[in-house]
Amino acid sequence: MKAEFKKDSAEYKMMADYYNLMKDFWGVEESGEYWTGLVEKTDEFIKKHEEASGGFSRRLGYAFVCRCEEIYYEGKKNKEGELGVENTNDALIYRSKNHCNRF
């Protein structure tokens, strides 16, 4: 069943913010600034929408951080033939701290 969300609804606002988060961070970078920004903006998104979404914003945020991580490692694998990177960036800390790997 197709849903129509009114522009002032919590769902519409959450999905608009999620889309903007994706636009801002889809081009995955290796820099610490990128990963710190991703984690901070994802936390802001989660906190802003968590209560109204019944926790759905948290799952969306975690899924997006995990996807960015997958893109990052796939790029590393393609460039180097193997991963060969340390698990020390902010997103990995965020992922393990928040159990993102359960998705």
CA distance 8 to 23: 21
Q: Where are the domains of the chain?
A: 10-102
Looking at every residue in the chain, the average pLDDT score rounds to 81
Of 68, 76, 79, 81, which is closest to residue 24 (Cα–Cα)?
A: 68
- Render pLDDT for 39-83 as a digit per residue (tens, 0 to 9): 999 999 999 999 998 999 999 999 999 999 888 888 776 665 544
Tell me, rounded to whole angstroms, the distance of Cα 43 from its chain centroid: 9
Give the predicted TM-score (pTM) of the model: 0.74
